[in-house]
Amino acid sequence: MVLLSMTASHHELDLDTLERLSSGAGSLGRSAVGACDAITGAVVVATCNRFEVYLDLDAPVESAGVQHAVRHLAGLVADASGVDSAVAEASFRTRSGTEVAEHLFAVASGLDSMVVGEREIAGQVKRALEGARSEGTTSKTLELLFQTASRTSKRVSNETSLGGAGRSVVALGLDLAGAELPPWRQVRVVLIGTGSYAGASLAALRSRGCFDVRVYSQSGRAEIFADSHGVEPVDDLAVALEDADLVVSCSGARGRAGAGVARGHQPSTDAAGPAGETADESIGHVLDVAALVRARTRAAEAAGDAEPGRPMVVLDLALHRDVDPRVADVEGVLLYDLATLKAHSPALGSVVVAQARRIVDGAAEAFEGTRLGRTADAAVVALLDEAEVRIGDEVAHHVAAARAAGRVLLEDEVAELSRTARRRVHAELHTRIVEARAEALAASQAELAAVVAGAEAAVYEAESESAGR
């Protein structure tokens, strides 16, 4: 049994490439488990700045088996995203063995985030496991891995100040936006989206004293969200934009069937798509530049101004951009997207990070010992089963000998014979048990070392093939 993770994140890739790779993340776990017999479990973690797949492989622990799984998954990603399979494979960093737990625990604790110490990621990791459960793609090992990641994240939160300052992508975006806006109690906000990030954004706005919030949802969930969160729903985004100071968009709806701009408006058709694509890149943007210009023009006309005078900040928190990037060119509009936030992400004190890292490393070591110990325990159980047979034989021999001598042993005497035999046999087996467990652990660790080497060779080969094209 092998634990394997394939990671594409903002550390290694630009956000545009990451966006394209993760476009088919929703069905990847189910496809991986359904199409490859060796993959017995899969959990996909897809957030605003990472796309990761965790696999449980039931296959011989050898480099060839891991290479097959890596290439198979890269092919599925390529099919779903339209990216060349060699490029998809080279875009991922493959981890195996102890590295898998170390990485996931660091991710769940906010150590690997765009904003180090962010707390939203803990919930996203938890929801990734819940999603795998609902899809039927998790496994016992992945359950243990992700549950331990959540517990480790809580330890980091409780025992360090890493997440104490409310650091997050949402908070960073609002901090940058706030410098360009009126006092928060006067700010009028349009919130696009109704998911977990929308909830986090609303909570962050209220903590700053902003309560004039309207919510828009392309999928029709605005009223449900508004009722449960005490805000006003809107069904016409273009109208709501006319008097907005701040737009916070986190729906990630771009690319969905029927995606587009506000009701009654069509996306513009003069944007060039990514290389190799002929489709209009603006299609699918929830907030289109033409709709925004019209909304601001109408607002200016209603106010009797020749030009739109009220400044606006647009905060796009979606990896699959909700907002047409050309919005940044509109007079009086300031656009912050994930690339901007990444550039403004503040550093965190090394002492705090080191403290959190020690907790993560300790948890990963304990997890790996438990996981490998299961293999070693199988050898120990076999020895203990053998011991029980010996104990039973000895007790039966004494009972038979007493009966042959014309004496029937009492129940208490038989029980004492059994206890005496068990103590002696287990004492004799102690050295063999320690040796068997150590040998099984060493074998598992050697196999994992071979897996890591094989996986690294596979990635190097894929990168070489991609560079040679």
H helix or E strand, kind and range, residue 334: strand 333-336
Roughly how many angstroms between the first and final C-alpha of the chain, as a whole number? 35
Mean pLDDT, residues 337-348 taken together: 79
pLDDT of res. 278 = 29
CB-CB neighbours of 263 under 10 Å: 12
Cα distances from 407 to residues 285, 393, 400, 412, in angstroms, run 92, 19, 9, 14
Give the residue with greater pLDDT, 228 vs 12.
Answer: 228
Among the residue ranges 99-108, 287-296, 430-439, the one predicted with the least confidence is 430-439
Tokens coding 425: 């046999």
Are 251 and 218 within 8 A, CB to CB? Answer: yes
What's the confidence (pLDDT) of residue 226? 94
The pTM score is 0.64
* Residues designated as active site: 48
Please check whether residue 211 is in contact with residue 264, taking contact to mean a CB–CB distance below 8 angstroms.
no
- Domain 2-165 fold is Beta Polymerase; domain 2 (3.30.460)
Q: Is 45 left (phi over 0), alpha (psi -120 to 50) or beta?
A: beta
Mean per-residue pLDDT, 166-186? 87
- Per-residue pLDDT tens for 353-386? 888 999 999 998 888 777 665 555 566 667 777 8
The residue length of the chain stands at 469
Tell me the pLDDT tens digit for each residue of 115-127: 787 878 888 899 9
User: Domain spanning 169-344 has what CATH number?
Assistant: 3.40.50.720
Token pair 């042959």 in the structure block, residue: 404
Cα–Cα distance between 24 and 191 in angstroms, integer?
A: 25
What residue ranges of the chain are covered by domains with CATH 3.30.460.30?
2-165
Cβ–Cβ < 8 Å for 77, 24: yes
